[in-house]
């Protein structure tokens, strides 16, 4: 068995057995922690699709997380308050609400991606950041939906055959969706589409000269990654029964980036491990002091400066160090012009 399969199976087994372990240790809190982990892992893995495979360092990924959550929250608000939304009385069915939330995220991804992808490098970082801030402020100004305070929800969405209000059932749903999402992403990056994407990362010029249109591939990736984060947001709204503009704030985007780096860029499973490290450290350090960021900041700094491959890289060991994600090497471009 290759090391990668062993890591995959170990992660899967940990996720699968966690409720059992929690019951044995009589720590129901563990299930809750791992639900959060699965949700953030999904958002981080979808960001890795952009950063690790598309070399698109998006600093606005939390916008999708926030929007996905808000669609769930807003519909729940209308259905519980009996206030029709444009004549529709709302619904509590996940089969209606969740696809609607994903649709909104896809639309946001199209607009935000199309405008942001007109630029690259540092401008792309700043523009994605600015778009997510735009959404953040708009969410915060919705006084009907609590403004900065957000929306409290009464219950989770209903899904036929499952009781989402049961912690274990909800947990397994999140894990199942995470696994499905990771498998889908792996297929995607291993497909012809994924090769074009990685080709664009290595050399845009070469890919264009093969007759491919970069914008289509990048925009599609941007939308798909947005859908992943949007689904994570939907699950978060259901998990926390609370949405607020902070879900889409720039700090959240920074957290997601930190998870990707901590876990290992361009590995998909790595960011899930990164999410585990991030949430675990947050949990541990904040038990110790409320100023946990005072310790976490320097730790993150050390990992960025010296730990080049993240947790996944360490587990895989002896992998090649990862290449710079966003700066195309000038030497390579010169070679392309004069082969």
Partner 1 sequence: MLLLEQLLNGLQYSALLFLLASGLTLIFGIMGVINLAHGAFYMVGAFSAAYTAVATGSFWLGGLAALAGSAFYGLVIETGIIRRLYNRDHLDQVLATLAVVFFTNELITLLFGRSPPAMPTPDWYNAFVEVLPGLMYPVSRLLFIAVGLLVALGMWLLINHTRLGMLIRAGADDHEMVGALGVNISRLYTLVFVFGCVLCGLAGFMAAPLLSVEIGMGEKVLITTFVVIVVGGVGSVRGALVGALLIGMVDSLGRAYVPPLLDQLLPAEVSGTLSAGLLSASAYIVMALVLLVRPRGLLPARA
Contacts with partner 1, residue ranges (CB under 8 A)? 51, 57, 59, 115, 118-119, 121-123, 125-127, 129-131, 133-134, 137-138, 140-144, 250-251, 254, 257-258, 261, 265, 291, 293-294, 296-298, 300-301, 304-305, 324-327
CB of 302 vs partner 1, minimal distance in Å: 9
Q: Which is nearer to partner 1, 117 or 237 (CB)?
A: 117
The nearer residue to partner 1, 19 or 146, going by C-beta atoms, is 146
For partner 1, which is the closer residue by CB, 19 or 263? Answer: 263
Q: Shortest gap between Cβ of 174 and partner 1 (angstroms)?
A: 26
* Identity of the residue, 199 or 254, whose beta carbon is nearer to partner 1 in the bound complex: 254
For residue 192, count CB atoms less than 10 angstroms from its CB and return exposed for 0-12, middle for 13-18, buried for 19 or more: exposed
Contact of 80 with 152, CB cutoff 8 Å? no
CB 270 within 8 A of CB 134: no
Task: Provide the minimum distance between the beta carbon of 100 and partner 1 in the complex, in angstroms, as a whole number.
Answer: 21
Angle at 23 between CA 20 and CA 27, to 5 degrees: 125
Beta bridge partners of 93: 158
Between residues 129 and 179, which has the closer beta carbon with respect to partner 1? 129
- Cβ-Cβ contacts under 8 Å for 40 (sequence gap 6 or more): 232, 255, 256, 259, 275, 278, 279
| Alpha-carbon distances of 90 from 83, 143, 161, 238, rounded to whole Å | 8, 19, 21, 16
Kind and range of the H or E run holding 294: helix 293-306
Contact 47/282 with Cβ under 8 angstroms? no
Dihedral-angle region of residue 105 (phi above 0 means left; psi in -120 to 50 means alpha; beta otherwise):
alpha
CB 52 within 8 A of CB 259: no
Q: Considering beta carbons, is residue 4 or 118 the nearer one to partner 1? A: 118
Task: Tell me how many degrees the CA angle 100-250-173 measures, rounded to the nearest 5.
Answer: 40
Closer to partner 1 at the Cβ: 37 or 261? 261
Cα separation values, 40 from 93, 104, 275, 294, Å: 23, 20, 6, 22
CB nearer to partner 1: give 99 or 297.
297
| CA angle (271 as vertex; 229, 309 as ends), nearest 5 | 145
């Amino acid at each position: 068995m290759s090391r990668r399969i062993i890591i995959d199976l170990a992660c899967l087994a940990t996720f699968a057995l966690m409720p059992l372990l929690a019951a044995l240790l009589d720590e129901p809190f563990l299930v809750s922690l791992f639900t959060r982990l699965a949700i953030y892992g999904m958002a981080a893995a979808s960001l890795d699709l952009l950063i690790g495979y598309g070399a698109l360092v998006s600093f606005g990924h939390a916008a999708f997380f926030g929007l996905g959550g808000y669609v769930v929250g807003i519909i729940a608000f209308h259905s519980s308050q009996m206030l029709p939304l444009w004549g529709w009385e709302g619904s509590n069915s996940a089969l209606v609400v969740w696809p609607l939330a994903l649709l909104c995220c896809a639309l946001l991804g199209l607009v935000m991606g199309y405008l942001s992808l007109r630029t690259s490098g540092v401008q792309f970082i700043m523009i994605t950041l600015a778009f997510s801030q735009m959404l953040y402020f708009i969410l915060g100004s919705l006084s009907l939906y609590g403004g900065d305070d957000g929306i409290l929800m009464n219950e989770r969405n209903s899904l036929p055959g499952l009781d989402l209000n049961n912690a274990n059932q909800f947990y397994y749903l999140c894990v199942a969706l995470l696994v499905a999402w990771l498998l889908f992403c792996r297929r995607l990056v291993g497909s012809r589409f994924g090769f074009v994407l990685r080709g664009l990362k290595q050399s845009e010029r070469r890919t264009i000269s093969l007759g491919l249109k970069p914008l289509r591939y990048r925009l599609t990736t941007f939308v798909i990654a947005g859908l992943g984060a949007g689904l994570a947001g939907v699950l978060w709204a259901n998990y926390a029964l609370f949405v607020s503009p902070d879900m889409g704030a720039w700090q959240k985007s920074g957290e997601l980036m930190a998870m990707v780096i901590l876990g290992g860029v361009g590995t998909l499973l790595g960011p899930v491990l990164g999410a585990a490290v991030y949430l675990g450290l947050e949990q541990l350090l904040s038990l110790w002091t409320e100023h946990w960021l005072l310790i976490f900041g320097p730790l993150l700094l050390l990992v960025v400066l010296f730990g080049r491959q993240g947790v996944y890289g360490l587990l895989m060991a002896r992998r090649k160090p990862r290449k710079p994600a966003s700066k195309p090497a000038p030497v390579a471009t010169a070679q392309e012009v004069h082969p």
